[in-house]
Each structure stands twice: as C-alpha cells, then as structure tokens.
Structure 1
Amino acid sequence: MTKFLISFPSGAMQVSADELPAVAEAAHAVVREAKDAGVWVFGGGIDERIAPVRVHGDGTVTDETYPETARIEGGYTVIEVPSRDEAVHWAARFAVACRCAQELRAFGEDAES
C-alpha cells in the first residue's frame, strides 16, 4: 500500500460565498466515503492566518520559510491505497467536490517503518 498526497492551493478553488456550503458538504461527503472505504489517513487545510516559522536543530525558531515553500497553502488529504489508479480515482472525487483540479503525489516508502 502506498500513501498519496492529494492537494490544491487556496486560489484554485474559485467558488462564490453562496456556493461554499455546498462545496464543503460535498468535500465532507468524499471524506466520509474515504473513511468508510478504509483509505483515509489524514486531511486538513493550512491555517493561513498563522505565519509559518522555521525550527532549527538547536531549537531556535525564526520567522521565515524556505523560499521554495513560502506559498504552501490550501487543502491536503493523505490516503493509503494499493495503486496509483485508485489514488487517481479518489483525487478525481475530491476534484469534483472542491470544484478544482487536485495535485497527486506519492510518498516514498520509509524502510524503517
């Protein structure tokens, strides 16, 4: 089984305030289906009101990010499925619910786990 990240940036979901409750309900329905299917691992959105920080090995915290990750935002879901095809199926379900395309990435296996 492989874990996959399904995600989208905040700006990708272009829905009106009136549509937002229906989109939220549709997304929650897909989450419930993923849980019922036993593929759900984790999901949530980045709280964009809280600025990211960088934590160093000595415990020092600095108000910065890596330049490459300064724009991490939006919604994230982690699923665990036996194939990429099944991951594509779930990503498509979230794309319909959220009314925007989803990125799909596979996590590499950790030999120690």
Structure 2
Amino acid sequence: VAASAGNHAQGVALAAATLGIRATVFMPAGAPLPKVAATKGYGADVILGGATVDDALESAHRFAEETGATPIHPFDHRDVVAGQGTIALEILEQLPETAAIVTAVGGG
C-alpha cells in the first residue's frame, strides 16, 4: 500500500505488477488524471480521497493496519532515499560524457 499524488504511485504500481503482487494506492482527490490513469494502467487499485498527500498517507496507514499490507512511504524511508540517490549514477553509467546534471526535486 502506498500514498502519492502520482510518481511514487506509478512506481509502486509498476513494481508490484513486475513482482506479480497486488498494490493499493491512495491518491488525493485532486491528483492529476493522467497519473491516476497510469497508476491504474499498471494494475494498482487506486482509491481517491482527501485533499492532500498527507490525507492519502493517513488512509494508507489505516489500510495497512487493517489488512496487514506493507506500507511503502513516498519519501520518508531510507531505501526510497537511497534509490532516488542512484539516478545520477545511472545517468553517468549510461552517458559517461555528461558534464552536468540539472534536475527538479519533488517530494522524494
């Protein structure tokens, strides 16, 4: 189970599909429709509700407690931070001539 307004939701949904397991993702009611559709397209059960990601996180934690599902936090977990930290290494491995990387940073 996860909570996200989009990118984390899609990543969890794709990972679950790859592993052949179920994913339930709580998303705020105002989440971008293309991200909701993509998350569903990867096979996750999407539950819309609340106004913010914090609302979705509360719902996801409740769901985890009630069902025994494993919660995957969108940013506040060392494995998530470590995984996001590898992006520069992946870019440099694939494009060793890269001299600079400029990127936006979201919730993660």
TM-score range, shorter chain: under 0.3
Q: Which has the higher helix share?
A: 2
Larger radius of gyration between Structure 1 and Structure 2: 1
